[in-house]
């Protein structure tokens, strides 16, 4: 029977002879991820089970990134639970402050995800890794606890929706704009519990960082996973992070593509040649409008970072726009590199200096303001333009604040003007 790439990956991790959308399956996972919010609950459930050792101390990843460096006593306790568990279980991939980064940027950077992998994480943006041709999805803490025990998890096989992008992207239009446009077209439940498979000539030409941004926000359309078939761009990235340990010639990699006659629940086809830089307005990622038409929206804060757009290419774009300029007086600009490696690259390239000289602050890696944790909480009546992924009511602080989502280019230009603008408005 023909299968999509997602179905092939799931089938390869079961003992079944065939699977279909809607089937319930038990599958072996290649990696199980937890952070400082979700892992402590999983650890508690693991201990209740009576099992003494995790199934494989090399296939569990623990990253304190949401409230870390610890913002208060409660978050410090959460981080301590993880640290103690990692030491007790000899978890190889535990990343303490100083080594850590935002999990969904850190894991690919460390070469921990490969095409064809089945990855679960107790965080909804685990779908990011689909950009590498893996089936990656968010789960609950109890599912994570079960994986700690025997390396398995239950899944309902999702149907797949195919998205084909054609045309040629304009200057300043990025993967973030493509996914915002897509969510604007289908809505925040348009791919509910489905796999979003991104394809077409536009996707083929996207950088790895832009692909990560797209897969990262599949969950904002309700998607279980956002997947892209691995190609030369993928393989070049894998060789960079894995070196000789990665081979694109393996049978597992060579067969990682959807069959030509695979069944899709829906197929969407977009010509994005005329697409402009976009902004998702409050209070949904689907409330999308062109940046050029929002010039009357004044801002109190701009955040550049997160698991969506905190990579070095994102910082380079922002720095290119901000170089030699000052942000609007009275506005707060917070720039957060996603990992320590990216932090060092930004320092060595002079990007950090550009941000600080422009009037911004350059932070240690953290999820921080994205989820209203710390490092940029909004008070009543404030507006923030961010390169993050969610803008629900109260997401970044007060329920009477507003969050707008966009790309690094629009964010940087808007920080200079103090209002939302197209980068070419400078």
Q: What is the pLDDT of residues 28-76, one digit of tens each?
A: 999 999 999 999 999 999 999 999 999 999 999 999 999 999 999 999 9
**Which residue, among 252, 219, 223, 218, has the nearest Cα to 235 in the 3D structure?**
252
Q: In this structure, are 377 and 237 located in the same domain?
A: no
Last residue of a domain, one of 270, 292, 312: 270
Q: In this structure, are 297 and 416 located in the same domain?
A: yes
Q: In this structure, are 249 and 296 located in the same domain?
A: no
Q: In this structure, are 240 and 189 located in the same domain?
A: yes
Which phi and psi (to 5°) does residue 236 adopt?
A: -65, -40
Euclidean distance between CA atoms 253 and 419, whole angstroms: 46
Distances (CA, A) of 419 to 90, 329, 335, 411: 49, 12, 17, 10
Average pLDDT of the segment spanning 202-227: 98
Map tokens 């990235």 to a residue: 237
pLDDT confidence bin for 252, thresholds 50/70/90: confident
Q: In this structure, are 255 and 352 located in the same domain?
A: no
Inform me whether the pLDDT recorded for 251 exceeds 80.
Answer: no
pLDDT confidence bin for 314, thresholds 50/70/90: very high
Inform me whether the pLDDT recorded for 255 exceeds 80.
Answer: no
- Mean pLDDT, the chain, rounded, equals 96
178-191 in b/e form (b: 16+ CB < 10 A) is bbbbbbbebebebb
Q: In this structure, are 266 and 325 located in the same domain?
A: no
In this prediction, residue 426 carries a pLDDT of 86
In this prediction, residue 230 carries a pLDDT of 95
Map tokens 């002879």 to a residue: 17
pTM, entire model: 0.96
CA 132, 137, 141, 147 torsion: positive or negative? negative
pLDDT in tens, 159-209: 999 999 999 999 999 999 999 999 999 999 999 999 999 999 999 999 999
Q: In this structure, are 43 and 171 located in the same domain?
A: yes
- Which CATH number characterizes residue 420's domain? 3.30.499.10
E strands in 39-159: 60-63, 93-94, 118-121, 135-138, 152-156
**SS3 state at 267:** strand
In this prediction, residue 72 carries a pLDDT of 95
In this prediction, residue 246 carries a pLDDT of 82
Q: In this structure, are 255 and 375 located in the same domain?
A: no
Average pLDDT of the segment spanning 154-158: 97
Task: Count structural domains, the chain.
Answer: 2
Last residue of a domain, one of 270, 300, 320: 270
In this prediction, residue 112 carries a pLDDT of 97
pLDDT confidence bin for 249, thresholds 50/70/90: confident
Euclidean distance between CA atoms 337 and 341, whole angstroms: 9
Q: Contact, 130 vs 22, CB < 8 A?
A: no
Q: Contact, 199 vs 80, CB < 8 A?
A: no
Q: In this structure, are 283 and 235 located in the same domain?
A: no
273, β-bridge pairs = none
Euclidean distance between CA atoms 237 and 231, whole angstroms: 10
Q: In this structure, are 163 and 80 located in the same domain?
A: yes
Strand pairing of 31-35 and 118-121?
A: parallel
Q: Contact, 116 vs 201, CB < 8 A?
A: no
**Which residue, among 284, 293, 226, 276, has the nearest Cα to 405 in the 3D structure?**
284
**SS3 state at 216:** helix
**Which residue, among 287, 279, 311, has the nearest Cα to 414 in the 3D structure?**
279
Euclidean distance between CA atoms 309 and 409, whole angstroms: 11
Average pLDDT of the segment spanning 122-148: 97
Euclidean distance between CA atoms 279 and 385, whole angstroms: 9
Distances (CA, A) of 310 to 81, 196, 210, 285, 389: 27, 23, 11, 18, 11
Inform me whether the pLDDT recorded for 254 exceeds 90.
Answer: no
124-147 in b/e form (b: 16+ CB < 10 A) is bbbbbbbbbbbbbbbbebebbbbb
Q: Contact, 40 vs 78, CB < 8 A?
A: yes
Euclidean distance between CA atoms 93 and 50, whole angstroms: 23
Q: In this structure, are 99 and 226 located in the same domain?
A: yes
For helices 312-322 and 408-417, the axis angle rounded to 10 degrees is 30
Last residue of a domain, one of 218, 252, 270: 270
Euclidean distance between CA atoms 248 and 264, whole angstroms: 27
Inform me whether the pLDDT recorded for 216 exceeds 90.
Answer: yes
Range of the domain at 100: 5-270
pLDDT in tens, 92-118: 999 999 998 999 999 999 999 999 999
In this prediction, residue 244 carries a pLDDT of 77
pLDDT confidence bin for 295, thresholds 50/70/90: confident
In this prediction, residue 380 carries a pLDDT of 97
Map tokens 């905190």 to a residue: 310
Q: In this structure, are 316 and 205 located in the same domain?
A: no
Inform me whether the pLDDT recorded for 1 exceeds 90.
Answer: no
């Amino acid at each position: 029977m023909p299968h999509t790439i997602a179905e092939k990956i799931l089938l390869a991790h079961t003992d079944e002879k065939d699977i279909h959308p809607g089937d319930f399956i038990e599958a072996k996972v290649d990696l199980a991820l937890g952070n400082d919010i979700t892992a402590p609950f999983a650890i508690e459930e693991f201990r209740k089970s009576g099992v003494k050792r995790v199934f494989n101390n090399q296939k569990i990843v623990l990253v304190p990134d949401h409230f870390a460096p610890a913002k208060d006593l409660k978050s410090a306790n959460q981080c301590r639970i993880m640290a103690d568990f990692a030491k007790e279980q000899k978890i190889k991939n535990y990343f303490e402050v100083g080594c850590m980064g935002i999990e969904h940027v850190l894991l690919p950077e460390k070469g921990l995800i490969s095409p064809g992998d089945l990855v679960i994480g107790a965080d909804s943006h685990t779908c990011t890794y689909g950009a590498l041709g893996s089936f990656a999805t968010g789960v609950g803490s109890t599912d994570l606890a079960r994986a700690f025990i025997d390396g398995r998890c239950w899944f309902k096989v999702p149907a797949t929706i195919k998205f084909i992008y054609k045309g040629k992207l304009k200057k300043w239009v990025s993967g973030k704009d493509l996914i915002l446009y897509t969510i604007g077209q289908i809505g925040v439940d348009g791919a509910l519990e489905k796999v979003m498979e991104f394809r077409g000539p536009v996707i083929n030409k996207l950088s790895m960082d832009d692909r990560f941004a797209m897969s990262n926000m599949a969950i904002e359309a309700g998607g279980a996973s956002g997947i892209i078939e691995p190609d030369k761009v993928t393989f070049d990235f894998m060789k960079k992070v894995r070196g000789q340990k990665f081979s694109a010639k393996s049978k597992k990699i060579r067969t990682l593509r959807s069959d030509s006659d695979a069944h899709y629940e829906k197929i969407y086809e977009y010509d994005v040649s005329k697409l402009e830089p976009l902004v998702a307005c409050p209070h949904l990622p689907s409330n999308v409008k062109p940046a050029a038409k929002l010039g009357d929206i004044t801002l109190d804060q701009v955040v550049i970072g997160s698991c969506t757009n905190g990579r070095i290419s994102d910082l380079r774009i922002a720095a290119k726009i901000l170089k030699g300029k000052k942000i609007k007086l009275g506005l707060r600009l917070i720039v957060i590199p996603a990992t320590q490696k990216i932090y060092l690259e930004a320092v060595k390239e002079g990007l950090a200096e550009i941000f600080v000289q422009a009037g911004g602050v350059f932070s240690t890696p953290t999820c921080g303001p994205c989820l209203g944790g710390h490092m940029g909480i909004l008070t009543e009546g404030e507006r923030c333009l961010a390169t993050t992924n969610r803008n629900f009511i109260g997401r970044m602080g007060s329920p009477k604040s507003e969050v707008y989502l966009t790309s690094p280019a629009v964010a940087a230009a808007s920080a200079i003007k103090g209002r939302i603008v197209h980068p070419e408005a400078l």
